[in-house]
Structure 1
């Protein structure tokens, strides 16, 4: 039994020593996974301060969405660092839930979709394990994708209110800083997890009759992806 454990440990160590793309070569890859994102400050934007706080309750819930795209990779020669530019399609947003003392319940879902352009600096302390960090710019390609539903449509048709919300709350470009970690296996599989912190307002509040106000609405969230890396073949 002891010899079996020694053999397994040796195999793991041997695998780990080679569990990374070769340095000074170029690779491209594909990745897909899930986002878990939220948007801050929605309550302040939507609810006027004239309403007493004890008359209502609100909750901003993160949304789970798909993320996927392509990336490029280069490991610097004789170095523990690499660079990874990437282009990702991502579904990000939040659900804003409201309930008041008059039994009105409604949910506003911000179902934004982004094309994210980012670049990561990856540092490998050992084998294929790495830390990574870098900036990202997200272009909102569905900046009016807001859904509204309530339990009292007689107060105003949900579709009519939804259209009005889409006209006054516009999704904006997002800028993030990504921090994360991952592991690159020698056979091409790459697993990464990251935290993303928004640096700017992502909702523009236009002139409206709802008494909505302009406010700082920043994103934050988590992302887990699985990718496959492929070397560029010389001609």
Structure 2
């Protein structure tokens, strides 16, 4: 039995290759925010906001298919305008996606999978100020994108992330009824090991 396990581990080690790297880039946040003001409902009152992200990734290569877990700090949020009143939600997350990656033509990939977000810090301004203490500490999203491996251990990724968690827990305390995160990301990465 132990011989069989040893053969399996050696086979896995020779078949799987590990790449470790760092990444950074821009977030184009486009959260969906719904609000109520003076008895009237307003849908999608958020404007696109630019943020940034930086962190690390691993790519476990299993032939043309691989697994790519990541951990990165992400500046997100929304600028809000409801019936002339303005506000902002500034949310900073530790994002942890676990992506299935399909590699093709030696340098291209498509990837998708779940992403789990943990709030590191939040700040509220204007009409969003009533949300203090009324939002969730976690967020669940689906991420999907494309990437290309470049010379000199560089890679570039474009990805869309759609949140499914309504991060507003108690809409009774604020004019903001609901908010779901969404963003488009552009990243550049550098492979430190294994490319």
Q: TM-score range by the shorter chain?
A: 0.7 to 0.9
Q: Which runs of 5+ in 1 are unaligned?
A: 1-22, 100-104, 149-160
Match of 2:64 in 1: 80
Match of 2:50 in 1: 64
> How far 1:47 sits from its partner (Å)?
2.5
Which one has a larger percent strand, Structure 1 or Structure 2?
2
Aligned ranges 1:23-102 → 2 under 5 Å: 24-43=16-35, 46-47=36-37, 50-51=39-40, 59-76=45-62, 79-99=63-83
Match of 2:7 in 1: none
Q: Does the 8 Å contact 2:20/2:57 carry over to 1?
A: yes
Aligned partner of 1:219 among 177, 181, 188: 181
How many correspondences in the alignment? 181
Which one has a larger percent helix, Structure 1 or Structure 2?
1
Aligned ranges 1:79-158 → 2 under 5 Å: 79-99=63-83, 105-143=84-122, 145-148=123-126
Per-residue CA shift, 1:129-163, capped at 9, x if unaligned? 110001100001123x1122xxxxxxxxxxxx77x
Q: What is the CA–CA distance in structure 1 between the aligned matches of 2:111 and 2:87, rounded to whole Å?
A: 34
In the superposition, the TM-score normalised over structure 2's length comes to 0.81
Q: If you compute each CA radius of gyration, which structure gives the higher value, 1 or 2?
A: 1
In the superposition, the TM-score normalised over structure 1's length comes to 0.68
Q: Which runs of 5+ in 2 are unaligned?
A: 1-14
Q: Does the 8 Å contact 1:91/1:113 carry over to 2?
A: yes
Q: Does the 8 Å contact 2:144/2:161 carry over to 1?
A: yes
Q: Using a 3 Å threshold, how does the CA distance of structure 1 residues 179 and 65 change in structure 2: closer, same or farther? A: same
- 1:111 counterpart SS class: strand
Q: Does the 8 Å contact 1:200/1:216 carry over to 2?
A: no
RMSD of the alignment, in Å?
A: 2.6
- 1:170 counterpart SS class: coil
Match of 2:162 in 1: 197
Q: Does the 8 Å contact 1:30/1:228 carry over to 2?
A: yes
- 2:89 counterpart SS class: strand
Q: Using a 3 Å threshold, how does the CA distance of structure 1 residues 58 and 115 change in structure 2: closer, same or farther? A: closer
> How far 1:166 sits from its partner (Å)?
4.3
Q: Does the 8 Å contact 1:93/1:110 carry over to 2?
A: yes
